[in-house]
Amino acid sequence: MAISYIPHTGEDRQAMLAALGIRSVEELFADIPPDLRLQRPLALPPALSEPELVAHLEGLAAANSGAAKVCFLGGGVYDHFIPSVVPYLAGRGEFATAYTPYQPEVSQGTLRAIFEFQTMIAELAGLDVANASMYDGATALAEAAFMAVNIARRERIVVLGGVHPEARQVLETYAGGQNLPVTVVPVDPSRGTTDLKALDEVLAAGDSACVLLQQPNFYGCLEPAPEIVRRAKAAGALAVVSADPVSLGLLEAPGRYGADIVVGDGQSLGLPMAYGGPHFGYLACRGEYVRRLPGRIVGRTLDREGREGYVLTLQTREQHIRRDRATSNICTNHSLMALTATIHLAALGPRGLRRLAEICLHKAHYLAERIEGLPGFRRVFQAPFFKEFAVAYERPDFDPATAALAAGYLVGPDLGRWEPERRGQLLVAVTERRTREEMDGLLAAWGVRE
Amino acid sequence: MAHEVPEGLYYTEEHEWLRVEGEEGVVGITAYAQDQLGDVVFVELPQVGAEYRAKEAFGVVESVKTVSDVYMPVSGRVVAVNGALADRPELVNQDPYGEGWLVRIQILNRDELAGLLDAAAYRQRTS
């Protein structure tokens, strides 16, 4: 039997057309100019039966080799271990199906979870308040830039060259829509961190709303963040730090060295790589900017009888009444992803997060030192690094990425994807999941030549 | 309930008041307006030196119920803002014509005063 997979029967359609007083679907679309309409049937292959469809999808899935490889990939998505308690609890029906907690009377559990998320993020950032999450690190960075433009009442957005190039693209897309100028400060090519002299030159104009920096930066290098923050603020700009939350287990909270807004991507906190999504972004700021904080915020309060309760707070402004004047158009958050991270952080605890960061640091440094000892290889940048670094191999007769892949190891991405002059320079990330054996295996794939 | 509408002030349809003091004027929102808004929790004020035309929004008053723009009664340049509202926005509720004032302006076009309401006319609009 042929099933069209279209829920309306011919009779349904006739009834709808009759109710509209027209005879055909063509007539319904008459208002759309003909040149905007597709004048031919959609180019679709013939329908498949269910077993055929399953077989087809299994074939596509089998073509993905990534899952079986050992992952040293970096560049913003990391292969961290996810304790089984995390997906187990986050996958519970109460969480997985709950939608927007607009009605606090029946959403206390969800609201409390979000409140705890905000509390943990504020603590990691070293700042007073955090919102209930953003879509991802890149959009959180762009939203932070808008916040800063409104707070500083200046227009220029200064972004450091060490910020992930794709986050910079998102930022430029956002800023372009509002005609806000974006200035990129170059990275010192040998150190891999911000050229402070170039930063000073940009700041000297006195029109910068904010300086956006990433710590560790896109190349894995540790920026002199306190120094950059100090210079930004001396120039009257806000300092926005985008930080890998795992690194905050070890590095000082940016709020403590003066950052006004701290953002980042939360994939490292218990979310699978999943081909790049969904992630969540976090955004924390000083208390005085709470009314500029985009998105939603959960607050804790007491009812008339002194009992604790949780509500969406400060929502009059951006969420409901003044949409036309809102400075952000975010109207939801990645609640389930944020909840997953909350469970992950609770499972690790502060000491666990610190230990995790230490393991990443030590393993990454082990591998980096060994790679530097291999003939032909060098580390591209001299600055200190956390869990990720760039390596180069400059002889044309050997391709490290291909050699690694052949031995079952994924490395990269290749920086040439964003900067053509850096073609052949690979990012290598080492998480706590990578074993000594795996690292030595990668070294063997690069060191032992046929 | 009738709200206090002091004599000698100018009023707008949008519930701002203006007290003229020589070349300058003080702007706030009326007792009626603060009562309609409910508890004021935040007031956003402009920067000193900013210039606005009559009927242009110069700030925001946020209450537990809503968020409202406040508008200039006449064209003016801001010469002072009420800094006390940053920590005590409730002054707008408690003393709308006194300590709850919003901004002091230099009046740029006195002819516009003629377009404003007097106390009697405003009282009639809000009774």
The two structure tokens encoding residue B14: 């949008």
Name residues whose C-beta falls within 8 Å of residue A443's C-beta, 6 or more positions apart in sequence.
A367, A370, A371, A374
Inter-chain residue contact A291 with B67, CB threshold 8 Å: no
The answer to whether A161 touches A184, Cβ cutoff 8 Å, is: yes
Question: What is the 3 state secondary structure string of chain A?
Answer: CCCCCCCCCHHHHHHHHHHHCCCCHHHHCCCCCHHHCCCCCCCCCCCCCHHHHHHHHHHHHHCCCHHHCEEEECCCCCCCCCCCHHHHHHCCHHHHCCCCCCCHHHCHHHHHHHHHHHHHHHHHHCCCEECCCECCHHHHHHHHHHHHHHHHCCCEEEEECCCCHHHHHHHHHHHHHCCCCEEEECECCCCCCECHHHHHHHHCCCCEEEEEEEECCCCCECCCHHHHHHHHHHCCCEEEEEECCCHHHCCCCHHHHCCCEEEEECCCCCCCCHHHCCCCEEEEECHHHHHHCCCCEEEEEECCCCCEEEEEECHHHHHHHCHHHCCCCCCCCCHHHHHHHHHHHHHHHHHHHHHHHHHHHHHHHHHHHHHHCCCCEEECCCCCECCEEEEEECCCCCCHHHHHHHCCEEEECEHHHCCHHHCCEEEEECCCCCCHHHHHHHHHHHHCCC
pLDDT digits (tens, 9 = 90+) for A341-396: 999 999 999 999 999 999 999 999 999 999 999 999 999 999 999 999 999 998 88
Tell me, what DSSP letter sits at residue B96? T
pLDDT of residue A394: 81
Partnered with residue A378 across adjacent β-strands are A392
Per the omega criterion (within 30 degrees of 0), is the bond before A278 cis?
yes
From A326, which residue of chain B is nearest by alpha-carbon distance? B67
Residues A326 and A15: their CA atoms lie apart, in Å, by 43
What is the rounded distance in angstroms from the CA atom of residue A57 to the CA atom of residue A121? Answer: 39
Mean pLDDT of B69-96: 96
Residues on B contacting A at a C-beta cutoff of 8 Å: 42, 44, 47, 62-67, 69
A274 vs A281: CA distance, rounded Å: 16
CA A362 to chain centre: 24
Q: CA-CA distance, A217 to A75, in Å (whole number)?
A: 10
Q: Is A315 in the B-facing interface, judged by CB distances under 8 Å? A: no
Q: What does the DSSP 8-state code read for residue B117?
A: B
Using DSSP bridges, classify how beta strands B103-107 and B24-29 pair: parallel, antiparallel or unpaired: antiparallel
Query: Is some CB atom of chain B closer than 8 A to the CB atom of A40?
Result: no
Q: Tell me which of A291, A313, A327 to substitute to probe the interface with B (most B C-beta atoms closer than 10 Å).
A: A291
Please give the model's pTM, rounded to 2 decimal places: 0.86
Closest-CA distance, A35 to chain B, in angstroms, reads 44
Q: Which of A66, A76, A73, A70 is nearest to A440 (CA)?
A: A70
Considering only alpha carbons, which residue of chain B is nearest residue A290?
B42
* Separation of alpha carbons B72 and B50, rounded Å: 12
CB nearest to A316's CB, from B47, B67, B69 = B67
With CB atoms and an 8 Å threshold, state whether A317 touches B67: yes
Q: Which residues in chain A are closer than 8 Å to B50, comparing Cβ atoms?
A: none
How far is B114 from chain A, CA to nearest CA, in Å? 31
The residue among B41, B65, B67 with the most chain A CBs within 10 A of its CB, best to mutate, is: B67
> Distance between alpha carbon A225 and the CA centroid of its chain, in Å?
20
Give every residue of chain A whose pLDDT is below 50, as ranges.
Answer: 1, 450
- Whether B44 and A291 lie within 8 Å, measured CB to CB: yes
Q: What count of other Cβ atoms lies within 10 Å of the Cβ of residue A265?
A: 29
Residue of chain A minimizing CA distance to B57: A325
Q: What is the pLDDT of residue A411?
A: 96
Of B42, B47, B64, the CB nearest to A291: B42
Strand, coil or helix: B84: helix
ipTM here: 0.75
> Does the CB of A287 have a partner CB in chain B at under 8 Å?
no
* Nearest chain A Cα distance for residue B31, angstroms: 22
| Number of Cβ atoms within 10 Å of the Cβ of B110 | 12
Instruction: Look at residues A243, A324, A351, A281 and name the one whose alpha carbon lies nearest to residue A134.
Output: A281
pLDDT score of A316: 58
Q: Which of B32, B30, B28 is nearest to B45 (CA)?
A: B28
A316 in contact with chain B, both atoms CB, cutoff 8 A: yes
Q: Report how far residue A425's alpha carbon sits from residue B127's, in angstroms, rounded to the nearest whole number.
A: 75
Q: What sign has the CA pseudo-torsion B80, B84, B88, B94?
A: negative
Determine which of A150, A301, A316 to mutate to test the interface with B (most B C-beta atoms within 10 Å).
A316
Cross-chain CB nearest to B66 (options A153, A291, A321): A321
pLDDT of residue A2: 54
C-alpha span between A192 and A381 (Å, rounded): 5
Report d(CA B44, CA B42) in Å as an integer: 7
Q: Do B62 and A316 touch (CB under 8 A)?
A: yes
Cβ neighbours, 10 Å, residue B39: 12
What is residue A1's predicted lDDT score, i.e. its pLDDT?
A: 46
Whole-number pLDDT of residue A57: 95
CB contact under 8 A, A291 and B62: yes
Read off the pLDDT of each residue in B44-54 and give the average, rounded to a whole number.
95
Tell me if chain B has a CB within 8 Å of the CB of A153. yes
Residues of A with Cβ-Cβ distance to B65 under 8 angstroms: 316
pLDDT for position B29:
97
CB contact under 8 A, B62 and A153: no
| Inter-CA distances, A330 with A185, A327, A333, Å | 28, 9, 8
CA distance B11 to chain A (A): 25
Chain A contacts of B69, Cβ < 8 Å?
325
- Tell me the chain A residues in contact with residue B47 when contact means C-beta distances shorter than 8 Å: 153
Separation in Å, CA A295 to CA A60, A153, A338, A417: 38, 20, 14, 33
